[in-house]
Amino acid sequence: MLLTIPDLLTKTQVAECRALLDQAEWVDGNVTSGHQSALAKNNMQIPEDSPIARKVGDFIQDALGQSPLFISAALPFKVFPPLFNRYAGGQAFGTHVDNAIRQLRGTNFRIRSDLSATLFLSEPEDYDGGVLTIEDTFGTQAVKLPAGSMVLYPSSSLHHVTPVMRGARVSSFFWMQSMVRDDAHRTLLFQLDRAVQALTTDRGGRDAEVISLTGVYHNLLRMWADS
């Protein structure tokens, strides 16, 4: 499943994040690449241990925790601390698949990457190119979102970023380990949860069918969740 989460951050919050990120040190993006990605990757990143990256990353994680849409879709167990990249002057990222295991440098924190996310921090009219193109069972999707919006997709998907030929594309990217590792199971749970929420709004939480479907949701989650 590919899902767009609009307005995870407000425009004011994006501006505050960018004011901090624009002051940070940017280095070769291959500092976080695996072997395959290093052959395809050409961008700049803020080092993982940068105090600015950690501060803005914590802010983004707080926003994720307040997003019912994100929680319903991802069912997150662990979230890798957000990282930040920038593309400009023809930089791009060729077709690749994200590493299955991500470990935070210098720590024991490790996740299985079930889901990948890109949070856009530049407005689409501020740069040419920089389209995130994702290929999976849902077809090929071209994603270029307003600043503050995020796309969530399976980490097993092939994806690439087209060259940025004007301006600069700044974004945050990170991975999640879901409580439900199978994408098809997560998709069914998400669809069921959205339907239950809609019925609850329409009929109220004490409606017999709403209660029954809520039980089905939690029993499926109990069956499929790792923890």
Encoded amino acid at 224, one letter: W
Q: Domains in the chain, please, with CATH?
A: 3-178 (2.60.120.620), 183-224 (4.10.860)
| Other C-beta atoms lying within 10 Å of the C-beta of residue 141 | 17
pTM for the model stands at 0.93
- pLDDT per residue, tens digit, the chain (227 aa), is 999 999 999 999 999 999 999 999 999 977 655 555 556 789 999 999 999 999 999 999 999 999 999 999 999 999 999 999 999 999 999 999 999 999 998 899 999 999 999 999 999 999 999 999 999 989 999 999 999 999 999 999 999 999 999 999 999 999 999 999 999 999 999 999 999 999 999 998 888 999 999 999 999 999 999 87
